[in-house]
Structure 1
Amino acid sequence: MNTTTRRIRNATAARRGTGDSPGRAATLVVLMGVTASVGCEGLSYYPYDCKELSECPGAACTGQCVPLAPLGFDGPALLWTGPGEEAPECPARAPVEVYTGYAGLESSHVCPECACSAPACVLPTGVTASNTQQCQGPVFTPVDAPANWTGTCQAAETVIGPASLRSVTIEPVTERPCAPLPPTTPAGVAPTRWTQVARACAGEAVPGVCNDPGLTCLPSAAPPPPGFQQCIMHLVPDDGKGVHCPASYPDKKVFYGRYEDTRACEACTCTETAPSSCSAWVSLYQDAACNPGEMFLTIAIDPTDALCTSVQASMANLGSISASWMTNAPGSCEAAGGEALGSVEPADPRVFCCQPLPGGRLDE
């Protein structure tokens, strides 16, 4: 054995001793399914150049003897990376797809701005007549005000005569608080996508035909097809920080099997910064048109409970109601919340260590 051969074999043995402890979480079958009768010539793409040796590293290998994957790695395999829509099929020499992963995670997370409705003073919803004192019934006859009543005259559907009018219940004024408004823009969780796809393809190696036990025979000595690199895969999932690529496969790449999406938007809230002050007059009339001369009761109403009052004029009819503000001073509030919560993070990482692309350039 000459000096050059001995140096390469010693280097190969050293490479075999590098890497992490094995963990067979996934298995890449070694490459190249097409047998090509290629001898020692044309091997300069790989780290072993037979032209420098007095004999080939594997006399029985008709293709290419390449370094075995170090401890903790599997392969080699042909790896292609690029946009998903451009992903090629596995080549004939490595027809089995053994890994699919992704890189370049893109996402956005913009939550809509929170806003609050304005607080308001709201007039009573109407009155209810009772045929007994103290609003005890048993006959109750309502005179309902319309929604969003402004206090204008509201006639009873049927005039309530003296026999049914001994007392009235007047609903309170309402201090309507501010409340979160529906967002004017969609929720801020936008679609997530990967910009890069990784596809590892494997064929079949021929073991035991290389003179160096640190090498294995690939049936083809041709460089990988365009866009592919010859790579080995770290067996244990890792984000790449704890993996050191061997000198024979120096180009480190990290891919992921999926992502975890925990994005959400914090709920909007409204906090009162100034209270409302609301009170009103409610008037009852004998006729259906709220004529001032027909008014027989006017009473002040505030935001407390409904008020029951007796009707002294036992011969009175109830034909209509009206209302006017004593105090109409809505307060104010402040919106809060709407913060973006969570994130999109890649998961299930895998590290590949690759040989340089043709010409010695590493794939950046």
Structure 2
Amino acid sequence: MEPVNVRRALLFVLVLMPLACGNGTISIYEKGDGGPEGGDAGANDAGADDAGDGGMEAKICTGQCVPFRPLGWSEPILVARTPGAAVECPPEAPHHHFTKYADLVAGPLACNCACKPSTGSCTLPATMTAANAACGTPDAVPTSFDPPADWDGSCSSSNAIAAGKLCGGKPCVESLTIGPMEAVDEGCEVDELEILTGQGDEPTWGLTVVACEGYPESGEGGCGAGGKCAPAPAPPPEFRVCVYKEDDVPCEGENYTDRLVVYTGFDDKRGCTACECLPEVEGSMCTAMASIYKDDACVDPLLLGYPISSLKEACFDVSLVGPALGSKSISNVTYHAGACQPAGGEPIGEVEALRPSTICCRPKDK
């Protein structure tokens, strides 16, 4: 080859080098050996273009290919649902998207009501009746020895009976019956210290749900027209590919069908109805000591400190028939508390899960 021609060939090679670098091929032609003007060169250019196009189509997803999201749903994300504490996002999807909860566990509260012992007061016997026979004798002739109305138990000589007075041919005083006392103004108050109201387990969640986002090194492409490239975490497979949407809604489409409704928290609206005590009092009683005197000033006793109560009337026989009943008094009046049945204290309300979202995941075998 002549020196001039060599120089021309080298110049031609330098011009072609930038073009050749695009497809990895460098060609050196001598003039007259089938250069760019030749048909073979054109064929080589066409082959280089095809190889370049093929390189674009051969892009590979470095994560996992997943179906596109249904319209109106989030982009596919990785979701882990665990019965314990929240798990960390994997390195393949390091961006924490949210932590929410599912399977709310909340039983009814334990409610209980209690009442304090009853309070009340006592009325004194309204009647005292002498009889011309021993206690319990039928058809005995009575003689009133009644105290005054609204008696306070202090010494009273009302309806005194003289010594030796006869009734039906017999001494009027052989026995004395004292009427029963009466418990009045009774009732019970709720015992706030004994109430077990609103006791129960704190609501808990059965599942903690963590959503994570990330992008494969290859980007979202490489899966063709049927899907997109998403992160693929390493085993164990705690994370699944899911989409989500606000509110409690059904899953859509055929690709994301494993449904779970999750929540941000809860509002505990449980409680108990108000406690009260029923008005009936059981087991209460009044007691006192009655004293009967022969004189009208409560000095000369016939009977001292005889026990009386609200349970029944009291009757005693006198040892010497026909004594005078001059006065009477009552002491040591005592109200003995009873009990009331509590009412109310019924569990009401429930725990409400707040702000639902629906997560729909790929089936586990996908």
Give the structure-1-normalised TM-score: 0.49
- TM-score scaled by length of structure 2: 0.49
